Homo-oligomer: A and B are copies of this chain.
Amino acid sequence: MILNKYFEEFELHEVRETGGRTITETDIVIHAGQTGDFFPHHMDAEWCKTQPFKQRMAHGTLIFSVAVGLTAGHINELAMTYGYERLRFTKPVFIGDTIKVKITITALKEHKKPGYGLVTELVETFNQNQELVMVCEHILLAKKKSA
């Protein structure tokens, strides 16, 4: 479970992919219940029929949470989340869609805190038709070996 990795061990353009997860009606109902967001886009199938997308769609925060969860395979004790940037929901995710996440290291930068560097992971989430549904940058603060 633990897979420690120093700043210097991250490689630019390195890519990893997660397994898939089907987004179910249950996920949407539980997410509404967790967040209190019962907007008709997610909870009212009749209203959705009157809209351009015709059917209920997943909450953006559900897709973000599941995507981040899919990437949480190993614990790296030498790095922690610094933040997220440029989070965009590029296409709706519908009930029955299956999402997967592709992570690419797109930047490695110095940080003002001595002994640490910043790793930028591009987090791309695709549906079963290889359409991008969500994208963001995950910034990690990683310890330097040389520190």
Binding site for B on A (CB under 8 A): 1, 18-22, 24-27, 29-40, 43-47, 56, 59-62, 64-66, 68-70, 72-73, 75, 81-89, 96, 98, 128, 136
Contact = CB atoms under 8 A, between A and B. Distances in A.
Contacts of A46: 20, 22, 98, 128
Contacts of A61: 61, 64-65, 68-69
7 cross-chain pairs, A with B, having the tightest CB-CB distances, nearest first:
A33-B33, A35-B69, A61-B65, A84-B87, A20-B44, A26-B29, A46-B98
B68 A35 contact: yes
Q: Tell me which of A36, A65, A98, A128 has the highest count of chain B C-beta atoms within 10 A of its own C-beta.
A: A36
A81 B64 CA distance: 14
B38 A21 contact: yes
A47 B128 CA distance: 10
Main secondary structure of the interface of A (DSSP, over half): mixed
Contacts of A65: 31, 34-35, 59, 61-62, 64-65
Given A61-B65, A86-B85, A98 B39 contact: no
Contacts of A35: 65-66, 68-69, 72
B69 A40 contact: no
B21 A44 contact: yes
A112 to B, nearest CB: 15
A22 B38 contact: no
A19 B74 CA distance: 12
